[in-house]
Amino acid sequence: MSLDDLQDDLEGGYSDLGDEVSMSLDRETRNELAMLEAAFNPDETDELLRRAVHLLFQQTVDTGNLDFHLRSEYDVTYDEYLSGMTFDEMRGGGQQMAQQQDDRDNRRYQF
């Protein structure tokens, strides 16, 4: 997979989500959400859920967990996604690296 595949999946997922998401909650999640509502007293429960998504996203970026999963699935990192190009493309592409390796191999046998 590639950066283009990631972009396609993001666009598809974004449109699939729409503006609202309905979900079922297990007992533990309901209890924790009720505790957070009591503590923070938000105008709507939706606000707590939005904060939770932001917090999870930021945590996975900060710990490198997002990069690990993106690299495993798409062979890119979050920074590469943000820049719109892979690190290899930033350095001039894979062709240049292959040429450098060939040059080193050829020089090895020259005296």
Residue 101 has pLDDT above 80, yes or no: no
The domain limits of the chain are 3-10+25-108
Taking the C-alpha atoms of residue 40 and residue 61, their distance in angstroms, rounded to an integer, is 25
Q: How far apart are CA 100 and CA 111, in angstroms?
A: 19
Instruction: Return the CA Rg of the chain.
Output: 22
| Mean pLDDT taken over the chain | 84
The whole-angstrom separation of Cα 82 and Cα 64 is 15
Find the length of the chain. 111
Q: Which of 65, 94, 70 is nearest to 81 (CA)?
A: 70
Are 43 and 49 contacting, i.e. CB atoms less than 8 angstroms apart?
Answer: no
Tens-digit pLDDT profile for residues 32-85:
999 999 999 999 999 999 999 999 999 999 999 999 999 999 999 999 999 888
Share of the chain above pLDDT 90, in %: 57
Rounded to 5°, angle at Cα 23 from 21 and 28: 135
Q: Which two tokens stand for residue 21?
A: 């998401």
CA distance 75 to 69: 9
